[in-house]
Chain A
Amino acid sequence: MSNRIDVKKTYKLFINGAFPRTESGRTYEIKNAKGVFIANPCLASRKDLKDAVVAARAAHSGWNKASAFNKGQILYRIAEMLEGRRTQFVQEIVLVTGVTKVKAEKEVTESVDRLVWYAGWSDKLSSLSGALNPVAGPYYNFTVPESMGVIAAIAPESPSLLGLIDAIAPVIVGGNTVIVLASTKAPLSAMSFAEVIATSDVPAGVINVLTGKKDEIAPWMASHMDIDGMDISGLGAKSHGAVRIAGAENLKRIYSFNSADPGRILAFLEHKTVWHPIGL
């Protein structure tokens, strides 16, 4: 046993590629299963959300324009970075949730592999949902999937890392930018994952990570007019109706998912159909 005093990490938000504290100064306490204090993560405020949306909106144009190859490379890079920090993530999952190391290792492994799976979709989406439409006339007519814009995602309480990956990766692989709200009870995975993102060539603002209370932040997300869509898979079912009602103000596309399949990616893509005459 060493007598050395640990240098503990201050867990912050991740907005626009930086790690600010919440502007509100509010935090909450998380403890492990045995009631031992772990950290004081930020309780993100409405203004933190606003800042994240501004960052995500600004980042959208560039990320949307990045080639599918490039997006796939960056997602794969995230997987590489996560792989390299497996131990840390396993430890944090065990520390916060009290699960066995074996179970935590399984979650981290699946998280890395799922990132790789999502990464591979980046340049196959138009094959999956694009089309060349045989219209009755001298027109070339095609449909292509295109990113929707800024998406807010609420990660499930558990699994805290894998659920976070499912909230982020399918949204960004198609060219959207995301503001993700982490598991409230187990936010450590998310906050450390932000460090992975920060070192994975992901342009600033493409992924923004908030921590805090879901029932407080979800309505703010739903009513924010510059958010185009929401993944509310991680929000309690009883709150879905209210979020959908608030989201109707700008006709947000709001979905909840129960599996990791390509439908999860397609849900946040628009389909654009282009016509052009064929002639001499």
Chain B
Amino acid sequence: MSFYGLVDGSDSSLKKYLGGLSGVDQVGADARASMLATRSIKTTSKRWAIDTAISMVDLTTLEGADTPGKVQALCTKAVRPDPTDSTVPSVGAVCVYNDMVGIARKHLDLIGGSHVGVAAVSTAFPSGRASMPVKIQDTQDALDAGASEIDMVIDRGAFLSGDYITVFNEIVQIRELCGERAHLKVIFETGELVTYDNVRKASFLAMAAGADFIKTSTGKVAPAATAPVVLVMLEAVRDFYSMTQTRIGVKPAGGIRNTKDAIKQLVLVNETAGPEWLTPSLFRIGASALLNDLLMQRMKMDDGYYASPAYVTID
């Protein structure tokens, strides 16, 4: 593999590459993110943003209690989020554990949702604490069941102990496994990486290793997709594009629960990576409750009065 010519796969070249990254000033990044949060998105731009956000949702269920019935219901919602309004777009994908991938894929295809992807969380999600053969098998199962997107977690223990090459090699191996069959999203669990310097470093590491997307969190650890973390990752994909002419996607996940939060994310994308990233192929939002709030806001914009949860379907 060429790794964009940025590293040669050796530990030393990886260290040199990561060592050349500029630092991130936390206060400055926080200030920029909160300034962008003051953007006021109204009327036509709000309507556009809501539909765009809906199309970017990775509608997620990642619970021990998940059943085929629950997953099928989620798939139905993913394809037609508002059964009363056919102008509402489908979401980007459903996101499930690997044993639910086959059920999801089958149901989506059955109800005319073949355009909706199935993302499988992988590599011993959410902790990433398993041997590499187990992680590979985990991913292989999901691919075999028809996953079009693999959301792998990195080994945060290795990352925090400075063993970047292990993290790098794991991503490389999973990337190879995915081949042409699936997009690879690499989850950092930014709440465990803690510093923005680490987030920036992990972003560049994952991108060089072949990630198609970089993703903030598993949704199991707080804080998750905070605005400044997403800002730092968007800066990373923007800079990576100037270096390699390759656009890597970004997926915030966890903590984005309402329309206001989602629109803030789109503003971040628009003014950081740029409008080219405002597409489901380059920006996704991992969420569950968010979709209904987007739908309620959409109704409000159409009807002129506030909606009630009674008029949107529960998952």
Contact = CB atoms under 8 A, between A and B. Distances in A.
Contacts of B279: none
Contacts of A279: 25-27, 30
A226 to B, nearest CB: 38
Nearest to A138: B27
Interface in B11-45: 25-28, 30
Interface in A222-280: 277-280
Nearest to B26: A279
B28 A280 contact: no
A28 interface: no
Contact of B196 (A138, A139, A280): A280
- Counting chain A CB atoms within 10 Å of each CB, the highest count among B25, B27, B194, B196 belongs to B27
A280 B200 CA distance: 13
B246 interface: no
Contacts of A277: 25-28
Contacts of B194: 280
B23 to A, nearest CB: 11
Contacts of A138: 27, 30
Contacts of A280: 26, 194-197
A280 B26 CA distance: 6
A161 B196 CA distance: 62
| Interface size classification for chain B | under 10
A16 to B, nearest CB: 45
B223 to A, nearest CB: 13
A279 to B, nearest CB: 3
A248 B27 CA distance: 41
A8 B30 CA distance: 74
A136 to B, nearest CB: 13
A139 B194 CA distance: 20
A279 B195 CA distance: 9
Interface in A90-120: none
A147 to B, nearest CB: 31
Contacts of A139: 27
Contacts of B28: 277
A278 B25 CA distance: 9
Contacts of A278: 27
A76 B249 CA distance: 68
Nearest to A278: B27
A138 B28 CA distance: 10
A70 to B, nearest CB: 35
Nearest to A137: B27
Interface in B171-229: 194-197
A139 B30 CA distance: 13
A279 B196 CA distance: 10
A138 B197 CA distance: 18
A68 to B, nearest CB: 31
Contacts of B197: 280
B195 to A, nearest CB: 5
A139 B25 CA distance: 12
A139 B195 CA distance: 18
Contacts of B25: 277, 279
A279 B232 CA distance: 15
A218 to B, nearest CB: 49
Contacts of B27: 138-139, 277-279
A139 to B, nearest CB: 7
A219 to B, nearest CB: 50
A4 B196 CA distance: 85
Nearest to B25: A277
B219 to A, nearest CB: 23
Given A277-B27, A278-B27, A279-B27, 5 more contacts: A277-B25, A277-B28, A279-B30, A280-B195, A280-B197
Interface of A: 138-139, 277-280
17 contacts: A138-B27, A138-B30, A139-B27, A277-B25, A277-B26, A277-B27, A277-B28, A278-B27, A279-B25, A279-B26, A279-B27, A279-B30, A280-B26, A280-B194, A280-B195, A280-B196, A280-B197
